[in-house]
Amino acid sequence: MPETAAASSPDWAGVQLHVVTGKGGTGKSTVAAALALALASSGKNVLLCEVEGRQGIARMFDVDPLPYEERQIAKGLPATPGAAAPDGSPRGPAGTVFALHIDAESALLDYLAMYYKLGRAGRALDRFGVIEFATTIAPGVRDVLLTGKVFEAAKAGRRGKGVRQYDAVVLDAPPTGRITQFLNVSDELAGLAKVGPIKSQSDTMMTLFRSERTAVHLVTVLEEMPVQETADGIAELRATRLPVGGVVVNLARPHELDADDLAEVADGATEVEGLASDLAAAGLDGSPDELVDVADHLLRQGRDHAERLALETTQRALVDEFEVPTYELPRLAGGVDLGGLYELAAQLRRQGMA
């Protein structure tokens, strides 16, 4: 499947804002980080943003907690000298991944400073509890502040003093259940601002979010609930006219047995005694009884593995029916360290996602 994905995947090259959502715990943060590295490996300067206030990026990249300030955290993989990109073009130097941890309170101060020229007076507002008011009480305002900051980073042609220009922004976004509401700032603000700077700002944001310069990718694992949630998420995004990107199937189990062996194990056709004597013949130490125990354990594990793979196959067929570009990342044994992130990034690149 990874081989076919590259051929059928569209070109995300024109996408400025990659939004990565998915059911909780399926690997949104991991995939967002891997995608940022993959884009950087294709020579782009990328900003990886998080908005959930959990410092996941800092943990993944093994750096100190991020401030509300853009930080360089990694380089894309350097191109192999002389190697061409999958499309045949020569590879340039690797780009850089910057990271930004966005919190609503800082974003509000930013916003006040920018639009109302409050400057340092804005900071003083904190003491009067305005910030707490705006971010915990006014409905929807929190999301709008976070989304607004992401928009600022992603919008084109921004090259002011001390402001970096990014080729792409990757957002480690809220989960599928909240993503449409999160991006649909015009709805959130409908009751708050019908005219004025906030209204026109939200219109400009929606123009970007609804355009081909944005792609909302959904991460899933091959289990019933997350796949169903992905289907619902795609439908909801489409109903709101937000651009559905790709589906990233994460944590896919490796196929350790070939189809025949798998069928045999699943059917219970392998005899415990037979396997035990094979183990003895292969030189495994142990009394006959112990070897039978080992064989029994192995067969049970094999059956379990076969069952899970069968379930994954069923769910993969459902994912295929979404008719969106699909990418697949393996479950890395022992979890994801920085090296693992680069490995996942390389897979995404090979499959044509970046």
Ligand X SMILES: Nc1ncnc2c1ncn2[C@@H]1O[C@H](COP(=O)(O)OP(=O)(O)OP(=O)(O)O)[C@@H](O)[C@H]1O
Binding-residue pattern over the window 42 to 61 for Mg ion, x denoting contact by CB under 5 A? --------------x-----
Q: Least separation, in Å, of the C-beta of 86 and ligand X?
A: 22
Other beta carbons within 10 angstroms of residue 104's beta carbon come to 22
The beta-strand segments (E) located in the chain are 17-22, 46-50, 71-75, 96-101, 168-172, 214-220, 244-252, 326-330
What is the Cα–Cα distance from 249 to 316, expressed in whole angstroms? Answer: 8
What is the four-CA torsion angle of 160, 161, 165, 170, rounded to 10 degrees?
-100
CB 35 within 8 A of CB 348: yes
Closer residue to ligand X in complex, CB, 139/335: 335
Which residue type, as a one-letter code, is found at position 136?
Answer: T
27 binds ligand X (CB under 6 A): yes
Stretch that binds ligand X, among 24-32, 232-240, 262-270, 273-281 (CB under 6 A): 24-32
Region 164-223 residues binding ligand X, contact defined as CB under 6 A: 175
29 binds Mg ion (CB under 5 A): yes
Per partner kind, with CB cut-offs from 5 to 8 A, the member of Mg ion, ligand X, none near residue 251 is ligand X
Q: Which two tokens stand for residue 52?
A: 């959930």
176 binds Mg ion (CB under 5 A): no
What is the Cα–Cα distance from 277 to 295, expressed in whole angstroms? Answer: 9
184 binds Mg ion (CB under 5 A): no
How many chain residues touch ligand X (CB under 6 A)?
Answer: 17
Q: Least separation, in Å, of the C-beta of 244 and ligand X?
A: 18
Per partner kind, with CB cut-offs from 5 to 8 A, the member of Mg ion, ligand X, none near residue 329 is ligand X
Region 39-68 residues binding ligand X, contact defined as CB under 6 A: 56
Q: Least separation, in Å, of the C-beta of 335 and ligand X?
A: 5
336 binds ligand X (CB under 6 A): yes
Other beta carbons within 10 angstroms of residue 321's beta carbon come to 8
CB 68 within 8 A of CB 101: yes
The beta-strand segments (E) located in 43-144 are 46-50, 71-75, 96-101
Per partner kind, with CB cut-offs from 5 to 8 A, the member of ligand X, Mg ion, none near residue 336 is ligand X
How many chain residues touch Mg ion (CB under 5 A)?
Answer: 3
Q: Least separation, in Å, of the C-beta of 228 and ligand X?
A: 16
Q: Least separation, in Å, of the C-beta of 223 and Mg ion?
A: 18
Q: Which two tokens stand for residue 127?
A: 């003491």
Per partner kind, with CB cut-offs from 5 to 8 A, the member of Mg ion, ligand X, none near residue 21 is none
